[in-house]
Structure formats: C-alpha cells, structure tokens
Amino acid sequence: MSRTKTVYTCQSCGYASLKWLGRCPDCGSWNTLVEEAGSGRKPHLSATSPVPLSGITLGADHRTPTLIGELDRVLGGGVVAGAVVLIGGDPGVGKSTLILQAMSKLLDSSGGKCLYVSGEESATQLKLRASRLGIDSDDILVLSETSLEVIIEEIEKTRPACVVIDSIQTTYSEELQSAPGTVGQVRECSSRLMIQAKRHGIPTFIIGHVTKEGAIAGPRVLEHIVDTVLYFEGDRSHSFRILRTVKNRFGSTNEIGVFEMTDSGLVEITNPSELFLRERSSDASGSAATSTIEGTRPLIVEIQALVSPTTFGVPRRTSIGVDGQRVNLLIAVLEKIGGLHLGLTDIYVNVVGGLRIAEPATDLPIILSIASSLREIPIAGDTFVFGEVGLSGEIRAVSQAEARLNEGGKIGFKRAVIPESNLKRLKQDAGLHLTGVSDIHEAMESVLRR
C-alpha cells in the first residue's frame, strides 16, 4: 500500500503541520499535535441520494438479540446491523470473556460467521478461554492480526455476520507512522472500521482498554465516533461485574447489566438486589439499605458508614461509591441541623459491593448510616430508606418512588422510611409499612430507636 503524506493536527486549535511538534506554534499548547492520515485518502462511500422521511421503512427485525439478557438490556434490545459498539474497561475485567460468550450466543440465534480479530492474544490463548467457557464453534473465525488493512481485506472477503476487534489498542494502520495505541492510530482505525461496518451492515464490537493515561489513548477518544459505548466495570476483589451504557444511538443510556465472574465464565445476575444484600448482617450499626434507580432499574443496595474518633489532628473523610463532596455536605447538615458532634471523628462511607451511585435519593441512607454508627444503634434489618436531603435538613421527594418501593417489597423488606411528600402522592404501597418523614430529625427518630 502506498504511503500517503501524514499531517499532524493540533487538537485544540486545528493547526496542521507536516512534522510532529511538541508545542503548537499557533496556540502554544503542548502535546496536542496528533497524527492524521493526509488528504487524498478520503474514504468514499457509494453515492447516496436523499429520501423523504416518510419513505424510510424500519425493518421489523432490525435488532438481533444476543440472548444474553443483561447484554441485550444495555444494548437496547440487541445488536443493530452496522452498529459499532465499543466495550471499554480495565485490563482483566472480562471484556474478551463477555464478547466470546456473546458471539457464541449471537451466532446461535442469527446464524452466519463471526470474525474474531485477536491482536492481544494468540489463537491458542483464545482457544483455551473458549474451552473453559465450553464454546467450540466452526462459525467463530479467529484471526490473529493487528494490521487494519489486512483486517479490512479479510472482512471484505468473508463478509461475516459480526466482527470483533480485540483490542483497538493493538490495531494499527499502515497509513500512519505512529505506534499502535496512540491517539492518531486508535482514532483512524476506529473510523475506518466504522465505515466498513456501515458499508455492509456488519455489527462490529471494538474492545478498548482504559489505559493509565485514560483520557488520552483510551476508549474516550472513540466515544464520539462509535454508535454505542459500554463500560465493563468491577474490581478484582469482587466477582461481580457491571456493564454500563455510556452512549447509545440505538437505545437508552444509563442502563446497567449485572454479571458474576465464575470459573466457567460470566453468569447473568437477573436479581442484583439479592446479590448486593447477600452478606448483610441485620444487627450491625452504621448500615442502611436503600433503593436506587440505575437507568430504568431499581436496585437495593447497602450503604455503610463507620464513625470513629480521630487519632491525629485532622479528621479523615473517605467515601467509596458515592461522591465525597456530597458526603461532606451531608456531614455538615448532620452537625449544624442534626446537632451531631462529628468534628473530632473520622467518617468512612462505603457502598457495599463496589457499586457507584450518583443520585440524591441516597442522601437519607448516608445520613442515617452515619448517625447509626455514631450512636451505635442499628437500623432494623427489615427497613430501607431513601430521600434527598436539603441544606436545611428537609427531606425532599425523589423520582420513581413506587418502583423503589416495589423492589424493596420484592426482596422481602417490611418497612420503608421515605420522604413525606412522596408518601402523599403514592398510589400503591407495595404491601410495606411506610413512614413519611419531612426532616432529618424525624428520620433519625423513626429508625434509630433502641
């Protein structure tokens, strides 16, 4: 392939240079010049002409379900023809495992062949994983290749039903001089794969590692290019994994899918609330169960707080799974309005199971778990709480109260402490004993009784 001239373009002002420069001579910013393929190599698609909106028909089955319910949920119902899906995540979280399992299921339902391009691992390593997962198929074609040009040639030749690129960081285009994994390469390769996917309507999964530099050459660079971005999260000390939609041109965002990593691969968790409460002890102080909404889905999780006397001067405030600033704000409300003495205490707040929550409905459980730990009074194990807390200690209504209550009832809770204003508007009560509270005093009063 003839090598075309490359240009380096400044990512902040658009200045173009024929050689790489550490500093942009135009805007003066550092390290912003990124290699891009020069003009003259513009990919050309077949000529299209405009069609009236009314003339566009939707195919009845334009989505193919992967038959892994939790994956279909985050994809918005299945795989769309020609869609490019980016799966990002830390190395070792289970991206290759997830995709291999999904491909095997997908082929069962759609037929055809899947081209699995592995630049990370050898064919033997892939085979080892597959046999561990009990997958053995004539229809998964493994290609150990890193050259984009060869990969595209292979796609043209085989015309598979779907393509997997594992990973984008090992793929490189011969048209660029920079090394695989650099911003220029990652971007060039994904946009060419995108064009390829659209041209033949082949769904394409791109795996991308979240690199140490994260924002630089990791999946973030691609977010605006691809159709769907999923992040696979979970820490190594826990067996469960969360698949989160960050962007989806074909469905809603903020959905999550929950899996557990077992000896024989990923297993779907259809009732995550049970999982998050599995090891909960019902008589420990500093623990509050709550119902949080992730996407369209209510989840029951446990929030724990530990309040202990400060040993060295400055009190420590540590939050895992919830926003630390928010916790500081709530601590201030507890001190000033609630009258609790927290000035000389260390406070640790943790969402059990490694989940991350960012919604105001968790204000109340955070406040109550801190108060429970300080006073060493446990909150009854059959009670869960939710509500937003305002700066003057008032409890404010939250969205989807009924869905939250139903989930709690399903899991076996008997009682819920919720915002008074939610209680008033409630149409059904999920068979729970409900207590409405309008400020933090009432809330503490109702759950922290000896």
Residues that bind Mg ion (CB under 5 A): 96
Nearest residue to the partner Mg ion, using Cβ: 96
- In the bound state with ligand TYD, the residue whose beta carbon lies nearer, of 89 and 378, is 89
Stretch that binds ligand TYD, among 84-92, 154-162, 188-196, 267-275 (CB under 6 A): 84-92
Counting contacts by CB under 6 A, is residue 181 touching ligand TYD?
no
Q: Which does 92 bind (CB under 5 to 8 A by kind): ligand TYD, Mg ion, none?
A: ligand TYD
Q: Which does 428 bind (CB under 5 to 8 A by kind): Mg ion, ligand TYD, none?
A: none
Shortest gap between Cβ of 296 and Mg ion (angstroms)?
Answer: 30
Identify residues 217-236 at the interface with ligand TYD (CB under 6 A).
Answer: none
Cα angle 254, 185, 171; round to 5: 85
Stretch that binds ligand TYD, among 36-44, 258-266, 280-288, 321-329 (CB under 6 A): 258-266
Please pick, from the candidates 133, 216, 267, 320, the single residue that binds ligand TYD as defined by CB under 6 A.
133
Counting contacts by CB under 6 A, is residue 129 touching ligand TYD?
yes
Please pick, from the candidates 32, 66, 96, 369, the single residue that binds ligand TYD as defined by CB under 6 A.
96
Stretch that binds ligand TYD, among 126-134, 275-283, 369-377, 389-397 (CB under 6 A): 126-134
- Each residue 406-425 as x (binds ligand TYD by CB under 6 A) or -, in order, gives --------------------
For ligand TYD (CB under 6 A), the number of binding residues is 15
Q: Which does 261 bind (CB under 5 to 8 A by kind): ligand TYD, Mg ion, none?
A: ligand TYD
Please pick, from the candidates 97, 118, 169, 245, the single residue that binds ligand TYD as defined by CB under 6 A.
97
Please pick, from the candidates 73, 95, 192, 244, the single residue that binds ligand TYD as defined by CB under 6 A.
95
- In the bound state with Mg ion, the residue whose beta carbon lies nearer, of 96 and 383, is 96
3-state SS, the chain, equals CCCCCEEEEECCCCCEECCCCCECCCCCCECCEEEEECCCCCCCCCCCCCCCHHHCCCCCCCEECCCCHHHHHHHCCCEECCCEEEEEECCCCCHHHHHHHHHHHHHHHHCCCEEEEECCCCHHHHHHHHHHCCCCCCCEEEECCCEHHHHHHHHHHHCCCEEEEECHHHCECCCCCCCCCCHHHHHHHHHHHHHHHHHHCCCEEEEEECCCCCCCCCHHHHCCCCCEEEEEECCCCCCEEEEEEEEECCCCCCCEEEEEEECCEEEECCCHHHHHCCCCCCCCCCEEEEEEEECCEEEEEEEEEEEEECCCCCCCEEEECCCHHHHHHHHHHHHHCCCCCCCCEEEEEEECCCCCCCCHHHHHHHHHHHHHHHHCCCCCCCEEECCEECCCCEEECCCCHHHHHHHHHHHCCCEEEEEHHHHHHCCCCCCCEEEEECEHHHHHHHHCCC
Shortest gap between Cβ of 328 and Mg ion (angstroms)?
Answer: 38
Please pick, from the candidates 163, 164, 229, 261, the single residue that binds ligand TYD as defined by CB under 6 A.
261
- In the bound state with Mg ion, the residue whose beta carbon lies nearer, of 95 and 187, is 95
Which residues of this chain interact with ligand TYD, rule CB under 6 A? 89, 91-97, 129, 132-133, 261, 263-265
